[in-house]
Structure 1
Amino acid sequence: MALLSPDPAGLPVEPVMLTTVAKGLEHPWGMAWLPDGTLLITERPGRLRILRSGRLDPAPVPGVAPVAADVKADQLFASSQGGLLDIAPHPRFSENGWVYVSYAHGSRDANGTRVARARFDGRALRDWEVIFRVNRSKSGGQHFGSRLVWLPDGTLLVSIGDGGNPPVSLDGDWIRLQAQNPASHLGKVVRLNDDGSIPPDNPLVGKKGADPAVWSLGHRNIQGLAYDPVHQRVWATEHGSRGGDELNLIRAGANHGWPVVSHSREYSSGQPVAGSTSAPGFIDPRRVWMATIAPSGLAVYQGDRVPQWQGNLFVGGLVAQGLRRLQLDGQGAVIGESVLPIGARVRDVRQGPDGELYVLTDEPRGRLLRVRPAERPAAAS
């Protein structure tokens, strides 16, 4: 049974100290550090930015033109949720120079999520190569996903949204039902080799009527995905519909229920999306936020700068305009939750190589912020 999050008004608030590391980013979406400490940041309009030695390069990285051209062709980024999305260097970047990005491709009437890789030489991208295309086109500009996470075996997880809310349809029914179609990439997490080929041990390989790239199914729109190397598990946060945002522990082959089971309600009527919140054969979420936080970005803190945060999950909130800090027990059950106010829409949260926690704010002039616990005044003697 899923645990429902307490009313946000009743949660403890942890004051934080925010330091602006960079500003002037246009709707930043994802970030990733290279081995030399360089930080790459995506901007939804189709630009890739570099932060070196604490300073933001004024010019975008050349070589992202294919993304910019695809997105700007119908301005998906300007009026909806598409654009240049997540970024993840190859685990052996120092050897091969590959950087992977996810992005929205296509027109207003036919579009979908893609993953490409290119070699980054410190100045520009080259050898652009699309390694994955969602196998069902959709209309509109909703629910692309799409986070990228490397597993220790060198395979790549990619979260794909369900395609959108009613009245968006496909095959004569609401498109969100594609999340339960094992032949469709929509509403899934897919697992790929680094060249885009399919790992032979994916859970649906060889199963009739299933796409072999599918790793888990029954998702609405995952925009937070993180691997916990200590406990060797994958966490995801996904948007609900009018409440019902979820924290999920993702397993290979698992069905997480959307839209057959859910705590969400319809935007139009306020009625429940599903007839049940739990049912046999579906995996319950570990946490459900009935008051919408709109989760985007997820980090497992393993740094040493803030010992009390060790092993905690940090969930970014767009509507909540802050972070949720979740404390877990050894089995991954949530045993504590608190609010870290940021005061802006949080699009991504990551732990840096320096052991600090960083967030990107989703604003026309977005910021990269370092987040630390506020210093408490010394007790009077």
Structure 2
Amino acid sequence: MRTATIALLLIVPAAAPARPPVVPWEVPAEPGLGVAVFARGLEHPWGLAFLPDGRLLVTERPGRLRLVSPRGEVSPPIPGVPRVAAVGQGGLLDVAIHPDFESNRLVYLSYAGGTEQANWTAVAVARLEGGRLQALREILRNPTPKRGGAHFGSRLLFLPDGSLLVSIGDGGNPDVKLDGRNIRDQAQNPEALFGKVLRVTAEGQPHPANRGRADPGSGWNPLLFSIGHRNIQGLARDPKTGTIFATEHGAQGGDELNRLEGGQNYGWPLVTFAKEYSGAEISRERSRPGFADPVSVWIPSIAPSGLAVYRGRALARLDGALLAGGLMSSDVRVIRLGPPFRETRIPVDQRVRDVAVGPDGLVYVLTDEADGAILRIGPARRS
């Protein structure tokens, strides 16, 4: 008599993908740090960049660029900036210097051009010589004008190979249409620039590694690095790991921290934690195969703007942390990816538009106010 051997196949269901942490409004304060005013007298400052000699270039949204000395002295407006559309969220926005600035003196500016009824995000480059910008020329423009003053994106980030990342917003909320549809739907259009991160050369040309250049049959515009974004106003690269991070505004809740990789789709508006400002659902999907999930999500919104990765010894306890500015939360969020994931805050009680780590290892913050300031975050003073 033969004994049958019965093999039992145990079927284990695939684990559901880990959901990103949802960070509430209230998080603990980061201990041991103090906030002091470094410079005053700026009108709605938007972006800052450190020069090799320790001075700062700072943009003001109404259309001015200023130099700030290492002692916090603010210069008169620098001549030679582009003409901007200072409507709503638009105006003179970010500033970045070329990696070889010491030899070529090149400064890059992003801004809203046009009028309230027809405007676009653009990037220009000029030489900083003799206290003014010279030979200004536009190297990049969203070719499709939109109306209204919302969602220009506009952060700039140079990568080690000399290429430049440029964020462009989705164009606006559902009251703004393009070809009869919500303009925000263009974030999923691989031919359009709305709701995208671009990667270009220093002359504004498509980078050879972009999906649309590497695979012309993909349907992607050759300028595109990633798609499916709402309105990125924070871009940073970890100098130790090379990881690129972005923070972007949701609508009603659903602000995101993302780890950016070329060729990825980040979902907006098909996949999102955000809701309409009315409270209605934008999408019931929080994740979808083939789309990149956020690292974390803020509900309610902190309105993130400005992002830096801290690497240094002056504030050693922050080493490796992400520093995200919050317009609505009036703070700088300190994000430690872990594991475990942890988030604390540095209260500043003003709208934070940009965050940068200075050559001294301290943290510099722009406040988005009519009487805006540069704040400096360092070790707390002992009383």
TM normalised by structure 1 equals 0.92
Q: Which residue of 2 aligns with 1:12?
A: 28
Q: Which residue of 2 aligns with 1:298?
A: 307
Q: 2: distance between equivalents of 1:4 and 1:327? A: 12
Q: 1:61 aligns with which of 78, 100, 108?
A: 78
Structure 1: where are the runs of 5+ without partners?
Answer: none
Greater Cα shift, 215-224 or 134-143: 134-143
Q: 2: distance between equivalents of 1:229 and 1:45? A: 32
Secondary structure (helix, strand or coil) at the match of 2:217 reads: coil
Q: What letter matches 2:29 in structure 1?
A: V
- Residue pair 1:287, 1:334 contacting (<8 A) in 2 also: no
Q: Which residue of 2 aligns with 1:354?
A: 360
- Residue pair 1:84, 1:104 contacting (<8 A) in 2 also: yes
Q: Which structure 2 residues correspond to residues 124-143 of structure 1 after superposition, within 5 A?
A: 124-143=132-151
- Residue pair 2:197, 2:224 contacting (<8 A) in 1 also: yes
Q: Which residue of 2 aligns with 1:106?
A: 114
Q: What letter matches 2:335 in structure 1?
A: L
Q: 2: distance between equivalents of 1:33 and 1:3? A: 33
- C-alpha displacement of 1:374: 2.7
Q: Which residue of 2 aligns with 1:170?
A: 178
- Residue pair 1:286, 1:334 contacting (<8 A) in 2 also: no
Q: Which residue of 2 aligns with 1:315?
A: 324
Secondary structure (helix, strand or coil) at the match of 2:281 reads: coil
Relative to structure 1, the CA distance from residue 116 to residue 162 in structure 2 (aligned partners, 3 Å threshold; closer, same or farther) is: same
Relative to structure 1, the CA distance from residue 121 to residue 374 in structure 2 (aligned partners, 3 Å threshold; closer, same or farther) is: same
Secondary structure (helix, strand or coil) at the match of 1:360 reads: strand
Q: Which residue of 1 aligns with 2:288?
A: 279
1:39-65: per-residue Cα shift (whole Å, max 9, x none)? 10000000001112313234111111x
- Residue pair 2:25, 2:302 contacting (<8 A) in 1 also: no
- Residue pair 2:212, 2:219 contacting (<8 A) in 1 also: no
Q: What letter matches 1:239 in structure 2?
A: H
Q: Which residue of 1 aligns with 2:272?
A: 262
- Residue pair 1:83, 1:104 contacting (<8 A) in 2 also: yes
Q: Which has the larger radius of gyration?
A: 2
Q: Which structure 2 residues correspond to residues 331-342 of structure 1 after superposition, within 5 A?
A: 335-342=341-348
Secondary structure (helix, strand or coil) at the match of 1:112 reads: strand
Q: 2: distance between equivalents of 1:135 and 1:124? A: 28
Q: 1:366 aligns with which of 343, 364, 372?
A: 372
Q: 1: distance between equivalents of 2:212 and 2:281? A: 30
1:343 aligns with 2:353: no
Q: 2: distance between equivalents of 1:192 and 1:284? A: 25
- C-alpha displacement of 1:247: 0.1
Q: Which residue of 1 aligns with 2:57?
A: 40
1:197 aligns with 2:205: yes
Q: Which residue of 1 aligns with 2:3?
A: none
Secondary structure (helix, strand or coil) at the match of 1:55 reads: coil
Secondary structure (helix, strand or coil) at the match of 1:189 reads: strand
- How many corresponding residue pairs? 363
1:51-99: per-residue Cα shift (whole Å, max 9, x none)? 12313234111111x32xx32xxx41xxx10000000000000111100
Q: 1: distance between equivalents of 2:257 and 2:75? A: 37
Q: 2: distance between equivalents of 1:121 and 1:281? A: 47
Q: 2:226 aligns with which of 216, 235, 238?
A: 216
Secondary structure (helix, strand or coil) at the match of 2:301 reads: coil
Q: 2: distance between equivalents of 1:186 and 1:310? A: 34
Q: 1: distance between equivalents of 2:231 and 2:247? A: 8
Q: What letter matches 2:145 in structure 1?
A: S
Q: 1: distance between equivalents of 2:103 and 2:34? A: 37
Secondary structure (helix, strand or coil) at the match of 1:316 reads: strand
Q: What letter matches 1:131 in structure 2?
A: I
1:87 aligns with 2:95: yes
Q: What letter matches 1:227 in structure 2?
A: R
Q: 2: distance between equivalents of 1:355 and 1:170? A: 45
Q: What letter matches 1:352 in structure 2?
A: G
- Residue pair 2:48, 2:57 contacting (<8 A) in 1 also: yes
Structure 2: where are the runs of 5+ without partners?
Answer: 1-17
Q: 1: distance between equivalents of 2:129 and 2:346? A: 37
- Residue pair 2:140, 2:204 contacting (<8 A) in 1 also: yes
Q: 2: distance between equivalents of 1:97 and 1:58? A: 18
Q: Which runs of 4 or more aligned residues in structure 1 lie more than 3 Å from their structure 2 counterparts after TM superposition?
A: none
- C-alpha displacement of 1:4: 3.0
Secondary structure (helix, strand or coil) at the match of 1:204 reads: helix
1:183-239: per-residue Cα shift (whole Å, max 9, x none)? 000000000000111122211221353210000000000000001121111100000
- Residue pair 1:326, 1:334 contacting (<8 A) in 2 also: no
- Residue pair 1:303, 1:351 contacting (<8 A) in 2 also: no
- Residue pair 1:4, 1:290 contacting (<8 A) in 2 also: no
Q: 2: distance between equivalents of 1:170 and 1:21? A: 43
